[in-house]
């Protein structure tokens, strides 16, 4: 049995059943609805849409705090004495969670906790964490240093992008301009948001309905980034139609992907992406 326990934030969007399967501990990030702050994963994401509809404002998101990490670290120490913690962190340039973990780790002996910045968010981060868990499962005697080496390689190979259906949430959060928002509404333009060096960057513009764009994104993104055909993650926020999901999955299978994994966004990611967002994540065959 391995002596390594993996930790990530809920912003990784790792499903709870997957976290349980691999023994991954998830530290809550937070969403604030006015004066009320809730842990990510503790409420239905549709509440975000209701809040925006009622107030015209999007909720505020916040990082995992040092206290959040200490609570999880203490639980791991109690349940898994003698094991070491590997925290695969949400992008450090996007939120303060990584720094919170570093601060929290000072409460413990040196070497008990190691944090690695994945430079990814949502399923980009989640894919790295799950891959690390599978590496450990297959090689229970693997050293922490060897896992970190493989994680660093995965961080250089993972690719993630998404197409928002409604730019209102990104606009409200200050991530797109009013001009881009109006262009989207009038011309049905969707900016492609990619995670590059930990930052969300609009790289291309797609025009049309998500019904047409979802399969197009799968084809183009997988080809441009030479994604490994073993596994493809398809990410979506609540509201995406089953018809679009079926069209996307059919396209992925037609393009040769052996396993297609659907992941729904949690509260933190949904707050920024809005409803009916569609995205793609996978590992390239080569480092970036």
Given a contact cutoff of 8 angstroms between Cβ atoms, the answer to whether 12 and 125 are in contact is yes
Q: What is the mean pLDDT of residues 29-47?
A: 97
pLDDT tens profile 80-111: 999 999 999 999 999 999 999 999 999 999 99
Given a contact cutoff of 8 angstroms between Cβ atoms, the answer to whether 129 and 88 are in contact is yes
pLDDT of res. 170: 63
Residues forming beta bridges with residue 222, ordered by sequence position: none
What integer best gives the mean pLDDT of the chain? 92
285: three-class secondary structure by DSSP? coil
pLDDT of res. 171: 60
Q: Which domains does the chain have, with CATH numbers?
A: 4-29+64-155 (3.40.50.10170), 158-283 (3.30.1180.10)
In sign, the C-alpha dihedral spanning 172, 174, 179, 183 is: negative
pLDDT tens profile 61-74: 999 999 999 999 99
Is the pLDDT score of 178 beyond 70? no
Q: What is the mean pLDDT of residues 122-135?
A: 98
């Amino acid at each position: 049995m391995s002596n390594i326990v993996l930790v990530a934030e809920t912003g990784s969007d790792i499903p709870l059943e997957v976290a349980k399967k691999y023994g991954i501990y998830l530290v809550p990030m937070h969403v604030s609805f006015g004066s009320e702050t809730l842990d990510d994963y503790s409420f239905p994401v549709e509440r975000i849409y209701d809040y925006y509809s009622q107030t015209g404002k999007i909720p505020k998101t916040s990082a995992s705090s040092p206290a959040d990490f200490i609570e999880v670290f203490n639980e791991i120490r109690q349940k898994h004495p003698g094991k070491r913690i590997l925290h695969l962190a949400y992008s450090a340039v996007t939120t303060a969670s990584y720094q919170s973990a570093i601060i929290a780790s000072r409460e413990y002996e040196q070497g008990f906790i190691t944090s690695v910045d994945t430079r990814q968010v949502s399923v980009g981060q989640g894919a790295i964490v799950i891959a690390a868990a599978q590496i450990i499962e297959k090689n229970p005697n693997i050293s922490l240093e060897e896992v970190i080496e493989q994680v660093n390689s995965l961080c250089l190979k993972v690719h993630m992008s998404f197409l928002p259906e409604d730019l209102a949430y990104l606009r409200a959060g200050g991530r797109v301009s009013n001009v881009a928002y109006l262009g989207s509404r009038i011309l049905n333009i969707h900016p492609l948001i990619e995670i590059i060096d930990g930052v969300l960057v609009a790289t291309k513009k797609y025009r049309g309905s998500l019904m047409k764009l979802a399969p197009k994104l799968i084809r183009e993104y997988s080809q441009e980034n030479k994604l490994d055909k073993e596994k493809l993650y398809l990410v979506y926020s609540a509201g995406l139609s089953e018809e679009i999901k079926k069209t996307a999955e059919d396209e992925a299978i037609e393009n040769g992907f052996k396993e297609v994994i659907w992941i729904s966004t949690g509260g933190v990611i949904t707050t920024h992406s809005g409803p009916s967002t569609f995205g793609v994540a996978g590992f390239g065959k080569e480092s970036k």
